[in-house]
């Protein structure tokens, strides 16, 4: 666990009193996670950055409505989820950069490109709901209850989406895994 | 898979979402169930493959809240800084003091009406009031002096009585002692007289 001199809950209390710097510190702690969450939903860095901006603006405007400061993470991702859904509804689906280009840029040094490409392709084949469940669980590390809170769905539904998605990904990635582990 | 295998619980186990007893139970099950162990290994391999895609750095910092556009209005900022400063305590103290003064101001007339004597004095002239006050003070001082004199007299009387009692006691003890000494002297004198009178008779007896 990373030690933090000031906990998020303290920053939230200060932000509620109008301390802008406290909220800026919260933004710096969470902006990368929110951006990557939105990036994996939209596939577009520009859209994700714009949406991230909107997410933090709404969070700032509604910080006093947050009942429990300890639930800031799920509350923030709930806003991000709503912003992403709203964005999907507003605009027609535009062709984002294809999975190959995304994988090319996301691939970590030393990792086989074909595995990264296979992962990106496999994620793209999931439904939006399945992909979001995978992103929140595997990449963001939220608990099932927190994911249910973010998505506004029962825990059983979240689990169902995730396990179905993992089953599909297992089938999709099996050949790539074999190559990647060789 | 064997009977008792539960894929959902296996996934919960893989994501560390099982409570300690259920986790221990699953570990025991995995030790004896090759199918579930294989399923778990595949699940872990899949999630590991997914994590090949790392998080990307955000291309541009989000710091819009620092912009003046999103800051509270100057009035709101003034009140915010006011309430977050030491002035809050001073203001609260001033409010309490003001409330106390107002309360006192409303309460004082009611108190004066509850004392008829004060109403009488309120009708007096300044000289009469001064005279009345002097008389009261003099009376109070006289009473106090009388009380002190009375107390002094009582204490002196008690001391004299005590001294008299002690002197009488000492006089009686002295009389008793003198009487005892007189008795002793009389007894000695009687003995000497008898001895003196018996002397010539004893000498005559020895001369025969």
pLDDT in tens, A141-173: 999 999 999 999 999 999 999 999 999 998 888
CB A48 within 8 A of CB A84: no
**Positions in chain B whose pLDDT score sits under 70:** 1-4, 63-89, 108-124, 199-208
CB A138 within 8 A of CB B51: yes
| Residue pLDDT, tens place only, A97-139 | 555 555 555 545 455 567 788 888 899 899 999 999 999 999 9
Which among A53, A119, A134 is the nearest to B62, CB-wise? A53
pTM score of the predicted model: 0.57
| Residue pLDDT, tens place only, A15-74 | 888 888 889 989 999 999 999 999 999 888 999 999 999 999 999 999 988 988 889 999
- Residue A143 has a pLDDT of 94
CA-based nearest distance B94→chain A, Å:
24
| CB contact A144 to B (< 8 Å) | yes
* Closest by Cα among A46, A115, A139 to A107: A115
CA-based nearest distance A142→chain B, Å:
10
| CB contact A100 to B (< 8 Å) | no
Q: Which of A105, A139, A157 to mutate to test the interface with B (most CBs of B within 10 A)?
A: A139
Q: Please state, for a pLDDT cut of 90, what percent of chain A lies above it.
A: 52
CA end-to-end span of chain A, whole Å?
A: 33
| Residue pLDDT, tens place only, A81-102 | 999 999 888 775 554 555 555 5
DSSP state of A96: -
- Residue A178 has a pLDDT of 57
The secondary structure element, H or E, covering residue B206 is: helix B126-206
CB A49 within 8 A of CB B60: yes
Helical H runs in chain A? Answer: 8-16, 20-42, 45-61, 72-90, 99-106, 113-125, 128-134, 144-151, 155-180
Subunit contact B58:A32, Cβ cutoff 8 A: yes
Q: Which of A12, A18, A21, A159 to mutate to test the interface with B (most CBs of B within 10 A)?
A: A18
Counting beta carbons within 10 angstroms of the beta carbon of residue A84, is it exposed (0 to 12), middle (13 to 18) or buried (19 or more)? buried
In this predicted structure, the answer to whether residue A140 has a pLDDT above a threshold of 90 is yes
Separation of alpha carbons A39 and B52, rounded Å: 16
Subunit contact A106:B47, Cβ cutoff 8 A: no
Task: Tally Cβ neighbours within 10 Å of residue A30.
Answer: 21
Its ipTM equals 0.77
Domains and CATH numbers, chain A: 1-95 (1.10.1740.10), 97-182 (1.10.10.10)
CB within 8 Å of chain B, chain A residues 9-48: 17-18, 20, 23-24, 27-28, 31-33, 35-36, 39, 45
Counting beta carbons within 10 angstroms of the beta carbon of residue A16, is it exposed (0 to 12), middle (13 to 18) or buried (19 or more)? middle
- Domain residue extents for chain B: 7-53, 73-122
Size of the A and B interface in Cβ pairs below 8 Å: 109
Q: Which of A14, A26, A27 to mutate to test the interface with B (most CBs of B within 10 A)?
A: A27
- Residue A100 has a pLDDT of 53
- Residue B199 has a pLDDT of 67
pLDDT band at A1 (very low <50, low <70, confident <90, very high): very low
């Amino acid at each position: 666990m990373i030690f933090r001199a000031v906990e998020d809950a303290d920053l939230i209390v200060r932000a509620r009193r109008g301390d802008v710097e406290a909220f800026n510190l919260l933004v710096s702690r969470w902006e990368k996670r929110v951006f990557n969450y939105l990036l994996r939903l939209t596939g577009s860095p520009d859209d994700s950055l714009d949406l991230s901006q909107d997410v933090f603006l709404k969070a700032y405007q509604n910080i006093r409505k947050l009942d429990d400061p300890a639930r800031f993470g799920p509350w923030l991702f709930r806003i991000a989820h709503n912003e992403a859904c709203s964005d999907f509804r507003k605009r027609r689906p535009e062709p984002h950069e294809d999975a190959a280009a995304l994988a090319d840029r996301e691939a970590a040094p030393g990792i086989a490109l074909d595995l990264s490409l296979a992962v990106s392709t496999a994620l793209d084949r999931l439904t939006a709901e399945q992909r979001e469940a995978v992103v929140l669980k595997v990449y963001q590390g939220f608990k099932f209850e927190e994911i249910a809170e973010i998505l506004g769905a029962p825990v059983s539904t979240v689990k169902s989406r995730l396990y179905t998605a993992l089953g599909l990904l297992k089938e999709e990635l099996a050949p790539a895994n074999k190559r990647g582990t060789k | 898979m064997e009977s008792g295998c539960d894929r959902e619980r296996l996934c919960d186990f893989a994501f560390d979402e099982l409570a300690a007893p259920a986790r221990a139970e699953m570990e025991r099950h995995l030790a004896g169930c090759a199918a579930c162990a294989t399923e778990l290994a595949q699940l872990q391999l899949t999630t590991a493959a997914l994590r090949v895609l790392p998080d990307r750095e955000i291309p541009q910092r989000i710091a819009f809240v620092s912009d003046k556009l999103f800051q509270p209005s100057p009035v709101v900022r003034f009140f915010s800084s006011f309430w977050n400063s030491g002035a809050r305590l001073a203001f609260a103290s001033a409010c309490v003091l003001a409330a106390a003064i107002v309360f006192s101001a409303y309460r004082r007339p009611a108190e004066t009406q509850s004392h008829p004597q004060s109403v009488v004095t309120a009708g007096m002239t300044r000289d009469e009031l001064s005279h009345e006050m002097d008389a009261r003070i003099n009376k109070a001082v006289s009473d106090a002096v009388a009380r002190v004199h009375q107390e002094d007299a009582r204490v002196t009387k008690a001391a004299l009585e005590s001294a008299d009692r002690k002197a009488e006691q000492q006089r009686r003890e002295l009389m008793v002692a003198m009487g005892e000494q007189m008795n002793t002297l009389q007894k000695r004198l009687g003995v000497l007289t008898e001895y003196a009178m018996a002397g010539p008779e004893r000498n005559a007896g020895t001369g025969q």
